[in-house]
């Protein structure tokens, strides 16, 4: 799972990042998580003179941000007709405005800090190759026109295949997120902030006017805490686990050996395909994304990378696949992020999550809302993403899915007898078996060496499923992931699985 962006990870080497917190500290603002949301908050707040301390479980940009596609756009698939109909035209217009503003904000940061992160303006397109999808694209176009935006409908794009129609947003952008975060991290430290890697926040408590964040052996006292852990690492209060799931997507980076097109593209409907170009070693390579599925739902190579690679070969027969990676993002049931106060009884704790695979702009929107809350500014767009909203669920299919997946993994699947036994598990594969009435997760490596874990998620106790693509144990309820030895890789869980000697 190596991403193009993380091949630039050595840019962090010359920055004074601390390895692990080994003392108790006092700070103004403790930010938990060093992806694009946590680091952008840290950047803005340290510039304003706050003492910022960032805790990162792994290393900066190691998780979703280091594995994204990094299109910076307000075109979040086909979304504005949904917003205008489910909420109001004003709501849709405001959503569009803040995301357009985020593109400008990111460009301003890049200019102010003189950041070399391969930022370039590109037009963004939602396209279809199917006659039956022409009308939904036209509907989105008409809604946008009603909102006062000026998109374009085109039938010719830079893609190497014909499209029926495409909706174009002009002056959107793309960049390299790891290069961007390296510069921002340096600025935070230059402004007196501290970043501790390999430091996991395990609990958060209020103590009179202060908040105490607990790590393995230490604590940090602060006036404010920002939970930037992607999926919130605490369950109560907040109850985010009842309103979000995670969805995985796969990306390949391809040297096409041919000149490449301009523009960033995504298909209108499933199966999703996403295209953009990116710089690697002073060359343009092609990124193709797709293979989406709910994290924790077993998927095969053929349904993921196996779909992307033939697409590349079809249009660029001499191409070479240089990178293959995947990651996942949080999706809320009403498709809107949760941004702002974490919970009504925790007014000094803030959150930004549920960016639904559009977190490049939405993390900037979220950072501005959270910063405004801390400095007491009224942010008129906060209402779009209120984390305490109790709106009716807009999307009943998502709601039903969430209930079914959670009840299956928490209860029914645990009662089912596994349909594999030990001898049936092939080398380099894994499965759940039953031993003396207990479920055991077995992985046999390429040489037949056995790794046995308790396949119960340490977040909320759901039964895990085997992911044969990455050789990991994944949670269908909320998307936590563990390697075959039981080490926690991805949130919301942060504890490892119990291991068995086998
Ligand atoms: C395949 C894919 C493609 C995408 N493409 C795009 C795109 O083109 N454009 C776009 O706008 N968006 C895109 N997105 C979405 C975007 O990448 C994400 O929304 C964004 O990166 C999320 O950033 P984050 O900071 O919230 O999370 P992360 O980057 O995951 O950062 C959270 C950090 O918190 C740390 N952490 C977790 N728990 C703890 C803890 N207990 N203690 C300490 N640290 C902790 C993690 O290690 C991690 O580093 C895509 C998403 C996917 C899945």
254 CA to centre of ligand 1 in angstroms? 23
Q: Is 70 in the pocket of ligand 1 (CB under 6 A)?
A: yes
Pocket test for ligand 1, best of 230, 245, 324 (most atoms within 8 A of CB): 230
Distance CA 75, CA 102 (A): 12
- Chain-centroid distance of CA 73 in Å reads 15
C-beta neighbour count of 496 within 10 angstroms: 15
Q: Is 444 in the pocket of ligand 1 (CB under 6 A)?
A: no
Q: Is 50 in the pocket of ligand 1 (CB under 6 A)?
A: no
Q: What is the pLDDT along the chain (502 residues), one digit of tens a residue?
A: 589 999 999 999 999 999 999 999 999 999 999 999 999 999 999 999 999 999 999 999 999 999 999 999 999 999 999 999 999 999 999 999 999 999 999 999 999 999 999 999 999 999 999 999 999 999 999 999 999 999 999 999 999 999 999 999 999 999 999 999 999 999 999 999 999 999 999 999 998 889 999 999 999 999 999 999 999 999 988 889 988 999 999 999 999 999 999 999 999 999 999 999 999 999 999 999 999 999 998 899 999 999 999 999 999 999 999 999 999 999 999 999 999 999 999 999 999 999 999 999 999 999 999 999 999 999 999 999 998 887 646 666 777 777 776 666 666 666 667 777 899 999 999 999 999 889 999 999 999 999 999 999 999 999 999 999 999 999 999 999 999 999 999 999 999 999 998 7
pLDDT of residue 2: 84
Residues 6+ apart with CB under 8 A from 216: 199, 200, 202
pLDDT of residue 185: 98
Q: Which atom of ligand 1 is the closest one to the Cα of 289? A: 1
Residues 6+ apart with CB under 8 A from 320: 254, 255, 257
Q: Ligand 1 atom 18: the closest Cα is on which residue?
A: 359
Picking from 292, 249, 247, 242, the residue whose alpha carbon sits closest to that of residue 406 is: 242
Contact call for residues 336 and 384 (beta carbons, < 8 A): yes
Prediction pTM value: 0.96
Crossing angle of helices 177-190 and 36-47, in 10° steps, is 30
Beta-strand pair 499-500/203-207: unpaired
pLDDT of residue 391: 63
Contact call for residues 381 and 105 (beta carbons, < 8 A): no
pLDDT of residue 467: 96
pLDDT of residue 397: 72
Taking the chain, what is the end-to-end CA distance rounded to the nearest angstrom? 28
C-beta neighbour count of 261 within 10 angstroms: 16
Picking from 144, 33, 163, the residue whose alpha carbon sits closest to that of residue 95 is: 144
Give the domains, in start order, of the chain with CATH numbers. 5-67+178-243+335-394 (3.50.50.60), 119-173+246-332 (3.30.9.10), 417-500 (2.102.10.10)
Residues 6+ apart with CB under 8 A from 6: 61, 62, 66, 67, 178
DSSP lists the bridge partners of residue 128 as: 165
């Amino acid at each position: 799972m190596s991403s193009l962006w993380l091949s630039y990870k050595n840019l962090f080497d010359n920055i004074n990042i601390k390895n692990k917190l080994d003392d108790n500290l006092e700070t103004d603002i403790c930010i938990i998580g060093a992806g694009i949301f946590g680091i952008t908050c840290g950047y803005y707040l340290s510039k304003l003179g706050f003492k910022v301390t960032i805790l990162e479980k792994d290393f900066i940009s190691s998780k979703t941000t280091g594995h994204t596609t990094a299109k910076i756009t307000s075109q979040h698939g086909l979304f504005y007709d949904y917003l205008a109909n489910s909420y109001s035209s004003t709501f849709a217009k405001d959503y569009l405005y803040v995301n357009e503003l985020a593109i400008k904000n990111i460009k301003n940061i890049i200019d102010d800090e003189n950041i070399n992160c391969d930022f370039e303006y590109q037009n963004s397109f939602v396209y279809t190759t199917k006659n039956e999808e022409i009308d939904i694209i036209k509907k989105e176009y008409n809604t946008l026109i009603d909102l006062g935006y000026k998109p374009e409908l085109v039938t010719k794009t830079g893609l190497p295949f014909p499209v029926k129609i495409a909706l174009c947003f002009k002056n959107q952008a793309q960049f390299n997120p790891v290069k961007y975060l390296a510069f921002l991290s340096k600025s935070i430290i230059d402004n007196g902030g501290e970043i501790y890697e390999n430091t996991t926040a395990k609990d958060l408590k209020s103590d009179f006017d202060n908040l105490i964040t607990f790590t393995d052996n230490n604590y940090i006292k602060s006036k404010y805490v920002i939970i930037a852990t992607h999926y919130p690492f605490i369950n109560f209060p907040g109850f985010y686990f009842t309103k979000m799931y995670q969805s995985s997507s796969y990306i390949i980076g391809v040297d096409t050996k041919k000149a490449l097109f301009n523009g960033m593209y995504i298909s209108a409907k499933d199966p999703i395909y996403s295209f953009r170009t990116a710089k690697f070693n002073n060359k343009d390579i092609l990124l193709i994304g797709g293979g989406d599925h709910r994290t924790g739902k077993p998927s095969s190579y053929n349904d993921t990378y196996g779909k992307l690679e033939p697409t590349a070969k079809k249009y660029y027969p001499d191409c070479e696949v240089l990178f293959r990676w995947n990651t996942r993002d949080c999706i809320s049931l009403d498709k809107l992020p949760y941004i702002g106060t974490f919970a009504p009884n925790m007014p000094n704790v803030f959150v930004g999550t549920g960016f639904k695979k559009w977190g490049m702009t939405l993390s900037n929107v979220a950072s501005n809302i959270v910063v405004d809350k801390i400095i007491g500014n009224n942010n008129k767009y906060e209402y779009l993403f209120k984390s305490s909203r109790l709106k009716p669920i807009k999307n009943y299919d998502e709601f039903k899915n969430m209930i079914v997946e959670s009840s299956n993994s928490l209860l029914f699947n645990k009662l089912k007898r596994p349909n594999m036994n030990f001898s049936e598990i092939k080398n380099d594969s894994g499965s759940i078996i039953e031993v003396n009435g207990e479920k055991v997760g077995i992985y046999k490596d390429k040489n037949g060496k056995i790794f046995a874990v308790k396949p119960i998620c340490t977040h909320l106790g759901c039964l895990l499923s085997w992911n044969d693509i990455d050789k990991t144990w994944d949670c269908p309820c909320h998307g936590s992931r563990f390697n075959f030895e039981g080490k926690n890789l991805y949130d919301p869980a942060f504890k490892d699985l119990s291991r068995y000697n086998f």
